Amino acid sequence: MKKVFFGLLAIVLLCSHDMFLKMDNYFLDPNTNAAIQLSNGTFEKSENVIDRNRMLDMSLVGNGQRIQVDSAQWTEKDSITFLNFKTGGPGTWVAGVSTAAKNIALDAKSFNDYLEHDGVVDMLEWRKENNALDQDAVEKYSKHVKTIFQVGEELSDDWKTALGYPIEFIPQENPYDIHAGHSLKVQLLYKGKPLANQLVIIGSDVTGESSMVEHSHDGGEPHTHKSGETPDHDHNSGLQLRTDDAGTLEFEITNAGVWHMRTIYMVQSEEEGLTHESNWATLTFAVGSGHSAAHGTDKDENHHAHEEESFPSYIFLLVSLVIVAGLFFYFKSKKK
């Protein structure tokens, strides 16, 4: 009974936390003070701060340089860990955090529930097919999170920088060069090589460009609420896609707002004292309505120009005055 209790406690602690880097605004002015949140809890609320000792890497990439973040730049408030920094020159920037591995022991039922709850369906299916559902587990897990944000109007190539994390998402085009109606291709790398046939869960949060907020946990269940959906706290909700042989997947950007993607890659471990090892990856970025459209291709600009143009108000006012004046003089002449 005690073992089951601690197993359930462990699954609550592990599976109720996903880790994301998120921002209140993904469109920043150059050379200004800003903050990135390292969230560890639910999609709506961080449950606890992250110990600096867990952070193996803390990087900012922009203007062609990778900057190692000093631990003194991190602060905590209301269970959220904040990275306080000053933006550099204009460009598309990347921030990343990679955590040290931790071990967790789970009884068989708790481990099975965790796999189902967090969408680790391949390992769960393997256990079913190999009559291993009754086997306890000791898992080593680590998390590797990234966010991409835009500073100023000028786009740069920093968005495609590989940080060298055990697992990471790398877009195949600049997210700030597209807008709703376009598709985005993203590649998933594991130990620097494409990871094929891996399940990825994608979601978006439509809250407007000036108040874009991400969702998160520290164990693997992003609350991926689709536009128009009522949040049901199903951590496997959202668009579910698998990577192809090149480790890539492509999905349609259906709306402006914050987009996030997550995956958990788990394998069996031969390390002494362990049964499994997992690496978690998340990526967040924002898609604007007017900002990215301005940087599209000529074809895109021509296509979307008609959607964004509106009839100038001063012309409407001028035409209205001419019509009113014409009617005035017309009826005045009739009276004569």
Question: Residue 226 pLDDT more than 80?
Answer: no
Mean pLDDT of 217-234: 35
Write out pLDDT tens, residues 125-159: 999 999 999 999 999 999 999 999 999 999 999 99
Tell me the pLDDT of the chain averaged across its residues.
80
State residue 255's pLDDT score: 95
- More confident: 325 or 155: 155
State residue 41's pLDDT score: 66
Write out pLDDT tens, residues 294-309: 443 343 433 333 333 3
Write out pLDDT tens, residues 2-38: 444 444 444 444 444 788 999 999 999 999 999 999 9
Three-state SS for the chain is CHHHHHHHHHHHHHHCCEEEEECCCCEECCCCEEEEEEEEECCCCECCCCCHHHEEEEEEEECCEEEECCHHHEEEECCEEEEEEECCCCEEEEEEEEECCEEEEECHHHHHHHHHHCCCHHHHHHHHHCCCCCCCEEEEEEEEEEEEEEECCCCCCHHHCCCCCCEEEEECCCHHHCCECEEEEEEEEECCEECCCCEEEEEEECCCCCCCCCCCCCCCCCCCCCCCCCCCCCCCCCEEEECCCCCEEEEECCCCEEEEEEEEEEEECCCCCCCEEEEEEEEEEEECCCCHHHHCCHHHHHHHHHHHCCCCHHHHHHHHHHHHHHHHHHHHHHHC
Question: Residue 231 pLDDT more than 90?
Answer: no
